[in-house]
Amino acid sequence: MLRRLGFLVRADERRHVAAAFGFLMVFVGSHTVLETARDALFLTKIPCPLLPVVDMAIAVVSFVVTRLQLALSRGGPRREMATWTAFGGMGSILLGLLLPVLGSGGLYVLYVWPGVVATLTLVHFWSLLGGIFTATQAKRLFGIVSLGSMIGAFAGSGGMTIALRYVSPGALVVVSGVVLTTASLMPLFFFRGTTAPSARRAEDRGPGLAGYAYILRGPYPRNLVSIALFASATLTFADYVFKTTIVDSLPKEKLPQALGAIYTGLNALSLLVQLAGVGFVLRKLAPPVILAVLPVLLVFSGGGVAITGVLAAALAVKATDGALRHSLHKTAMELLVVPLSDSVRRTVKSAMEVVGQRGGQMVASAVILLADASGIGSAIAWVLTLSALAWAVSSFRLRPLYVEQFRRPVVDSRALARYVHAPKLDVASLETLIAALDSESNDEVLAALGILERERKSRLVPTLILYHPDEEVVIAALRLFSRTRRTGALHAIDSSLTKHQSFRVRAEAYAARAAIEPDLTFLRRAYAEETSCEGRAAIAAVLATERTDDLDEARRMLDEVLEDASPATQVVICEVLGWRRAIQFTDVLETLATVPDLDVRKSAIHSLGDIASTRAATTLVDLLGEEPVQRSARQALARTGDVGFGALEAALRDPKRPSAVRWAVPRALALLDPERAAPALLANLRVEPDGMVRFRSIVTLGNILEQRPKLRLDRKLIDQEIRNNVSRAYRYLDRRLVLEAGASEEAGRKKPGHGLLVDLLRDKQRSAIGRIFRLLSLAFPQHRFGDIYLAIESGERGFRANAVELTHNLLKSPLREAVVGLVDEIDDEARLPFSEGYHAPIDRSYEGLLRSLLRSSSAIVRDIAAFHVAELGLADMIEDLASLGSEGKGSADVDRALDILGGRPPPSVGASLAVDAEPARAG
């Protein structure tokens, strides 16, 4: 029944839920008897104009009792709840016995006492539950816990109505005290293991008024207390309007039976609301919105009383109050306190009780007394309407603050890297960069050279830097001057660098000399004089690239140098061919990109990026599939422009390319041109069959959007992809549940293949959920769903609960229910009902599921399913396996399964599987 109502209780939650349900049912039942007996005695003997006075007395006494509780607090909430419940029960017994002796004074005490009993117990009760359950658990479970109060209230008022025919109201006060005393034992036996640690007891005693002021500086606690004040004042007005109207409308001798019948009917209505609507409403609406339901209805019913003044309108006010106060309203109020920390929660609840509820009673009572004294008591109905309106507005305004209680610990816990665009250099910045060229740090000098070239200020770099002692700095400067054809560098090159002790510097100097002022005679003379292999190789490479009259001779010269060349020589040749953009020697670089030496390969790849031809770009894309050089290939492609983008896009759309290559394409596209890559990757998601490519595309899109927050993506495509992934996640879940149920029904199915399939489907479900949240971060970048998912995956109970509740408040229905259903802390079997609109339940047949898995788009799912079919010996699936080969989806695992089912177990399978498969059985 509870699941039909939307309440989902996990096995590890049942004990606490049952204990809370039982205690609240008994407590509220006895408290209802106490309140009804009080009203029956008081209203028949005490004039109604005195009601505001006793309401103020309730507020004052409750304030004193609350302060007394905080001062005497010595144990955990479990023990305190039991102690104060027992005190309330014994006090009720004593009061009931002494009523005949106390006379009218006893009636005033009796009127105040139920409010004191509630104050003594319920603050501890809900604080205890707030410490046991997280926010997401509270939303699922507080509804069923509150159902106990509705049943108790209905039983109490119904029993009261019957009992009043046989016993006096005073005797029922004693009965309620006996039941309360019995209920005080329940927390000690059923809430074991929830006592607060001794280290926290001092903190849990609660602050004084100064502590209230400190806590209430926060906008969220302050608004909670103000709402409690509005609610208390409004309900006090409503109670006064109802009681004065019914006293004026009915004879006094009929009041006890009438009140009993009315309270029974109201409690029945409240129980009906709890059963029929609370679970649904809690799933659909945020607690602040739920909190506004009661005041909105009171605005209309209170207005009806103000306009008509008839008993029916007053009954409508009481019906609204009675139906929703202890069901929807109470549940929403307790949910709003759950996000707070334990110590703050206790303080805020105390403030809501003392400042809010009792303060509201005092304010309302003062207003009523003032109205009666002024002769305008009939205007209280209008005051009720205005107070309810203020309450409703405050509730709606609370929602952003409520969401922030979950956002702050989830999102603010991580500092996201932000892309910062480099500003244009001003004069001061240029001075700083030029000064950095004289730095003793080589890294600072190299960085300054790079920035000056990027900002097209390379003319400011002095040629004297060519005399720098570090060869990396000299090489970087030579390449900079050669790219800008800096003729002023020729003197340093000819006089010093061609005679440098480092062969790398000499090689770069010859190449730079040829780029700035080509002189074949100079290069031939240098070739004859150069002693190192690396230097001669560099000159030969330059000469080869300069020979346009005889390409065959140029290639022969280069081949001679490459023959038996050392890795260092090969690196020099790669560098020269690259930055001179020797397109005619692309094949040479392709060959060097495959040699065993990793440094040579990286140098060749870098040079292919410099050449940036269609052929070079295609080669670089192919090299993305090789892990050792993947990063080098990606960085080289980033310099190839439109040619490289086209090659990458072609690979992305070609499912026949090697998987390792296609997996690396999204990141390479983003590095090359993020703004063009984003729509290309998003559009490809619709048709991409490879799950890893989809995942990496989504990750890359998130990185692009993080770096370029102003970039706009096609929202329709994102929404469709979110829908697809939600559907996939529930499909994987449903399949896994069928597998697990099948193994439970027939133990023989629980073989290695079954375990592999269950684990694989669980992993795929988890991956789909990860993709959902990454896509949500694309659709709603302002909400940072990536951080929310990290919190969900963190494993920390409170952190995860905050993230789930934040997700619930940020998304709209029906996506909200579907996503929360995947990540909420509920049993897997309970998740499927939330898939409505995204997933249709599959065939529950075990063999039917295996046939479905054999048709999966995932090769690994097909292979493991084939293995499981074989180990189960399902001979009637031979045709299904054989059809995979004809469709181009065959594999060694599928062939092996066919051999086993056909009685031809391959040697690699082993005897055990062959024995299991014989004789083969049908479905």
Answer whether residue 668 is part of any domain. yes
pLDDT of 448 above 90:
no
**Of 348 and 629, the one with more pLDDT:** 629
Q: In DSSP terms, which residues pair with 874 in a beta bridge?
A: 921
State the Cα–Cα distance between residues 371 and 508, nearest whole angstrom: 98
pLDDT of amino acid 130: 74
Answer whether residue 796 is part of any domain. yes
pLDDT of amino acid 377: 65
Helical segments of 6-50, H only: 14-45
State the Cα–Cα distance between residues 205 and 199, nearest whole angstrom: 12
Contact 131, 116 (CB under 8 A): no
**How far apart, in Å, are the Cα atoms of 332 and each of 402, 624, 813, 872?**
12, 55, 20, 52
Q: C-alpha 542: how far from its chain's center?
A: 58
Return the CA Rg of the chain. Answer: 40
Q: Amino acid identity of 330?
A: K
State the Cα–Cα distance between residues 858 and 767, nearest whole angstrom: 14
pLDDT of 409 above 80:
no
**Average pLDDT over all residues of the chain:** 79
Answer whether residue 97 is part of any domain. yes
pLDDT of amino acid 263: 67
Q: In terms of Cα–Cα distance, which of 723, 764, 717 is closest to 860?
A: 764
**Which of 14-18, 366-370, 614-618, 906-910 is predicted with the least confidence, judged by mean pLDDT?**
906-910
Tell me what the mean pLDDT of segment 415-440 comes to.
59
State the Cα–Cα distance between residues 334 and 340, nearest whole angstrom: 11
Tell me what the mean pLDDT of segment 613-627 comes to.
92
How do residues 638-663 score in pLDDT, each as one tens digit? 989 999 999 999 999 998 899 899 99
Answer whether residue 906 is part of any domain. yes
pLDDT of amino acid 681: 92
Tell me what the mean pLDDT of segment 402-415 comes to.
68
Contacts of 769 (CB under 8 A, 6+ apart): 729, 789, 822, 823
Are 657 and 776 contained in the same domain?
Answer: no
pLDDT band, residue 212 (cuts 50/70/90): low
Query: Which CATH number fits the domain that encloses residue 676?
Result: 1.25.10
pLDDT of amino acid 43: 63
Q: In terms of Cα–Cα distance, which of 156, 181, 179 is closest to 39?
A: 156
Answer whether residue 410 is part of any domain. no
Among 397, 417, 447, where does a domain finish?
Answer: 397
State the Cα–Cα distance between residues 525 and 506, nearest whole angstrom: 14
Highest mean pLDDT among 155-164, 426-435, 702-711, 865-874: 865-874
pLDDT of 864 above 50:
yes
Among 676, 708, 740, where does a domain finish?
Answer: 708
Are 124 and 273 contained in the same domain?
Answer: yes
Contacts of 762 (CB under 8 A, 6+ apart): 732, 736
**Of 32 and 621, the one with more pLDDT:** 621
State the Cα–Cα distance between residues 94 and 90, nearest whole angstrom: 6
State the Cα–Cα distance between residues 700 and 912, nearest whole angstrom: 46
Report the SS3 class of residue 874.
strand
Answer whether residue 525 is part of any domain. no
How do residues 36-70 score in pLDDT, each as one tens digit? 777 777 666 656 566 667 767 776 777 677 666 66
pLDDT of amino acid 912: 41
pLDDT of 407 above 90:
no
State the Cα–Cα distance between residues 328 and 611, nearest whole angstrom: 71
**Percentage of the chain surpassing pLDDT 70?**
84
Q: What phi-psi label fits residue 673: left (phi over 0), alpha (psi between -120 and 50 degrees) or beta? A: beta
pLDDT band, residue 418 (cuts 50/70/90): very low
Are 271 and 379 contained in the same domain?
Answer: yes
Q: C-alpha 777: how far from its chain's center?
A: 10
Q: How much helix, strand and coil, in percent to the nearest 5, is found in the chain?
A: 80, 0, 20
pLDDT of amino acid 3: 46
Neighbours of 796 (CB within 10 A): 11
Report the SS3 class of residue 502.
coil
Q: In DSSP terms, which residues pair with 921 in a beta bridge?
A: 874
Query: Which CATH number fits the domain that encloses residue 67?
Result: 1.20.1250.20
Q: Which residues of 361-379 are buried (b: 16+ CB within 10 A; e: fewer)?
A: bbbbbebbbebbeeeebee
How do residues 359-382 score in pLDDT, each as one tens digit? 888 888 888 888 877 777 678 889
Among 360, 380, 397, where does a domain finish?
Answer: 397
pLDDT of amino acid 551: 67
Are 830 and 850 contained in the same domain?
Answer: no
pLDDT of amino acid 114: 78
State the Cα–Cα distance between residues 708 and 370, nearest whole angstrom: 62
Are 658 and 794 contained in the same domain?
Answer: no
End-to-end Cα separation, the chain, in angstroms: 35
Are 691 and 808 contained in the same domain?
Answer: no
Are 636 and 721 contained in the same domain?
Answer: no
- Mapped to the 3 state alphabet, what secondary structure does 619-638 carry? HHHHHCCCHHHHHHHHHHHC
Helices (H) and strands (E) in the chain, counts: 47, 0
**Of 909 and 744, the one with more pLDDT:** 744
Place of tokens 């997996």: 663
Answer whether residue 418 is part of any domain. no
Tokens at residue 442, please?
Answer: 């080589």
Are 744 and 637 contained in the same domain?
Answer: no
Angle formed by the axes of helices 641-652 and 659-672, nearest 10°: 140
pLDDT of 202 above 80:
no
pLDDT of amino acid 213: 61
Contact 156, 31 (CB under 8 A): yes
At residue 767's C-alpha, the angle toward residues 764 and 773, to 5°, is: 145
Determine if the peptide bond prior to 814 is cis (ω within 30°): yes
Answer whether residue 426 is part of any domain. no
Are 815 and 860 contained in the same domain?
Answer: no
Q: Dmax of the chain from CA atoms?
A: 130
Tell me what the mean pLDDT of segment 71-99 comes to.
76
Classify residue 748 by its DSSP letter. Answer: G
Are 867 and 829 contained in the same domain?
Answer: no
State the Cα–Cα distance between residues 144 and 529, nearest whole angstrom: 94
Q: C-alpha 234: how far from its chain's center?
A: 37
Contact 364, 381 (CB under 8 A): no
Are 309 and 179 contained in the same domain?
Answer: yes
Tell me what the mean pLDDT of segment 173-185 comes to.
84
Contact 445, 439 (CB under 8 A): yes
**Of 647 and 158, the one with more pLDDT:** 647
Contact 29, 178 (CB under 8 A): no
State the Cα–Cα distance between residues 714 and 723, nearest whole angstrom: 15
Are 839 and 883 contained in the same domain?
Answer: no
pLDDT of 746 above 80:
yes
Residues written for the chain:
923
Give the structural domain span for 240: 11-189+206-397
Classify residue 275 by its DSSP letter. Answer: I
How do residues 528-572 score in pLDDT, each as one tens digit? 777 777 777 777 777 777 665 566 777 787 777 777 777 877 887
**Of 442 and 922, the one with more pLDDT:** 442
Contacts of 440 (CB under 8 A, 6+ apart): none
Domain count, the chain: 4
